[in-house]
Amino acid sequence: MARENLVFNSLRLNMNNPQHVKINEILCSIDKDVCKSKNQFIIDAIEFYIDNFGKQILVKEESDKRYVTTDELDDIKQELMEAAMTEARREVIRVLGTAVSGRGMGELVTRTEVAPTAPEKEEPVDDEVVSGLATSWMPEM
């Protein structure tokens, strides 16, 4: 008789625990007309519990991935580049639109040309304090 498709789980009841005593009394007095076996009764009870309270509170969920894979990183880079390009295009279109329409002329920086003037020659001023400090830092030769 092949048992490779069977999985065994044990159930231990402590007769000092009132809850366990109550379960043991029910399991020992199961009506065979209602439930075909203790095993099927336990399976039905667990299935009812899962259906009414939800699997998400009973089963441990997979923890988040700790590391980002290279493929995921490449996807993130691509998304960021596309978003930056789209935003840059929108900004260029907005600036060009305001410049062409003339509404944003106040926002644009206008260049004014200043006529070059001949630089005035300044006479070197000899300050005794500055000269003294400068020479004190110079190495003696």
Maximum alpha-carbon separation in the chain: 121
Cβ atoms of 29 and 22 closer than 8 Å: no
Query: Is residue 81, in this structure, part of any structural domain at all?
Result: yes
Residue numbers of the domain that contains 101: 68-106
**Residue 122 counted as domain residue:** no
Considering the domain architecture, whether residues 52 and 22 belong to the same structural domain is answered as yes
pTM above 0.85, yes or no: no
Quick one: what percent of the chain has pLDDT higher than 70?
A: 75
Given a cut of 80, is residue 54 above it in pLDDT? no
Helix (H) or strand (E) holding 3: none
pLDDT of residue 101: 80
pLDDT at 97 over 90: no
> Residue 112's pLDDT is what?
64
Which residue is associated with the tokens 């590391």?
A: 67
Other CB atoms closer than 10 Å to residue 11's CB: what's the count?
A: 11
pLDDT at 129: 78
Among the listed ranges 15-19, 33-37, 81-85, which one has the minimum average pLDDT value?
A: 33-37
pLDDT digits (tens, 9 = 90+) for 76-89: 999 999 999 999 99
